[in-house]
Structure 1
Amino acid sequence: MRLFCSITAGAALAVLAILAGCAAAPPAGPTPAVAEADRPAVPLLRLPPASLGRTLQLQQQITVRYPSPQGEQTRDILALLEADAGHTRLAALAGGQVLARLDWDGSDLRVTRAPWAPAELVPERILSDLQLSLWPVAAIRAALPPGWRLDATPAMRRLLAGDELVAEIRYPDAATTEFVQRRDGYRLTIRTLQGEGARP
């Protein structure tokens, strides 16, 4: 199965937050009464591809908003994601060149990166945010460590650590996903242009 992800000109920085979630710059300070060191790390999901229970072939437009020293930045991306019972695959290109490829088979996470790919690109976080958005609620809940929970309705998912809302995902319509990672401060608006199996 081949997978390609094309990124609009100048959007390489957006890969720091794509779908996922790469680690964006942290917010300016800790949440009230909770020091950064006291907060549990956001879990990295590694759910088997087969637990998705369906196949995905999606072409998507992704608008990424993330904090920077110059203020909030916005980038637009075109992406294609493929997943089935054996593999989850994601690739990213910039300037006509491959930035990174990700292939997860349930045992090994294989990543290839261009020498010029930013160090902040975190494939494990990309995979985790993909699964948080798309995988069945029951599979996600079973994988969360103690102290974490996933609240879910057909139109929304909320990842919480105790009383802290860490991430919120909304599905305002069949073609749109809105992902907000509150702890790290990045936001994704994902619009499916064509494909199969977009809704969880």
Structure 2
Amino acid sequence: MRLTAIGKRYAALIVVAVLMAGCASTEPAAPPERLGLKLSPASLGASISLQQHLTVERNGRTDQLDAALEIDPKELNMVGLALGQRVLTLHYDGKTLESWRHRMLPSQVRADDVLEDTQLTLWPVEAIRKALPEGWKIEQQGLRRTLLRDGVPVTVIVYSNASPWSGKVELTNIRYHYRLTIESVGGDSSSTPIKIAAP
């Protein structure tokens, strides 16, 4: 599946926002481990094509970006633009994650991290829970989702409504000290949007 022309025009990717925010942590040399979540595209339970506006806050700085994301049962595609220039692309088929990055991006910007935050935000909580390794836990209370490591909150996600790909979503990464606000500005779904909480 290829990104549409409209998607490319609006893209400035969740990838860039999340990972640049992540690498802004003030932690010394060895940052805390990430979860390493890699769920299959099919486990999302829907096919979606989204355009989003992103606001990233870290270390007292705020950046505004746009995003384009397409997911179907076979693959996930992302394309990122910054200042009108493509800086990052991702393709994930459930087994292999392929990425391209512009040399302007810092080495700490990792495709694996952006995939993880995307799936933590959009995927059903039960699908995430089944894939968590020992020591990790995810909780869902209404419109609030919390990822924990050994009982300590790592990431908190707050939704404005029960559909994870409409309205506003705020993701706060406590370990890496950033907050990402995602607002949908367009898109469609080929199936009824799933609810963020399990029945």
Q: The TM-score by the shorter chain falls in which range?
A: 0.7 to 0.9
Aligned counterpart, 2:121: 133
Please state whether the residue corresponding to 2:175 is helix, strand or coil. Answer: coil
Contact 1:176 1:192 survives alignment (8 Å): yes
Mapping 1:147-162, distance limit 5 Å: 147-162=135-150
AA aligned to 2:179 is R
Q: Please state how far the C-alpha of 1:56 moved relative to its aligned partner.
A: 1.3
Which whole-Å CA distance do the structure 2 matches of 1:188 and 1:89 have between them?
20
Please state whether the residue corresponding to 2:187 is helix, strand or coil. Answer: strand
Aligned counterpart, 1:184: 176
> Given the alignment of the two structures, is residue 60 of structure 1 paired with residue 52 of structure 2, yes or no?
yes
Which whole-Å CA distance do the structure 2 matches of 1:145 and 1:20 have between them?
22
Q: Please state how far the C-alpha of 1:2 moved relative to its aligned partner.
A: 2.5
Q: Please state how far the C-alpha of 1:163 moved relative to its aligned partner.
A: 2.3
Contact 1:21 1:129 survives alignment (8 Å): no
Which whole-Å CA distance do the structure 2 matches of 1:21 and 1:136 have between them?
25
Please state whether the residue corresponding to 2:100 is helix, strand or coil. Answer: strand
Q: 1:49 aligns with which of 19, 41, 52?
A: 41
Question: TM-score with structure 1 length normalisation?
Answer: 0.81
Please state whether the residue corresponding to 1:190 is helix, strand or coil. Answer: strand
CA-to-partner distance for each residue in 1:118-169, whole Å, 9 max, x for gaps? Answer: 2222110000000001111111111111111000134011000122110000
Which whole-Å CA distance do the structure 2 matches of 1:127 and 1:21 have between them?
13
Aligned counterpart, 1:32: none
Q: Please state how far the C-alpha of 1:78 moved relative to its aligned partner.
A: 1.3
Aligned counterpart, 2:98: 110
Which whole-Å CA distance do the structure 2 matches of 1:95 and 1:85 have between them?
31
| Overall identity of the aligned pairs, in % | 35
Mapping 1:24-39, distance limit 5 Å: 24-27=23-26
Question: TM-score with structure 2 length normalisation?
Answer: 0.81
Please list every run of 5 or more consecutive structure 2 residues that lacks an aligned counterpart in the other structure. none
Q: CA RMSD in A?
A: 2.6
Contact 1:22 1:126 survives alignment (8 Å): no
Cα distance change of structure 1 residues 145 and 171 upon mapping to structure 2, 3 Å threshold = same
Cα distance change of structure 1 residues 22 and 143 upon mapping to structure 2, 3 Å threshold = farther
AA aligned to 1:195 is G
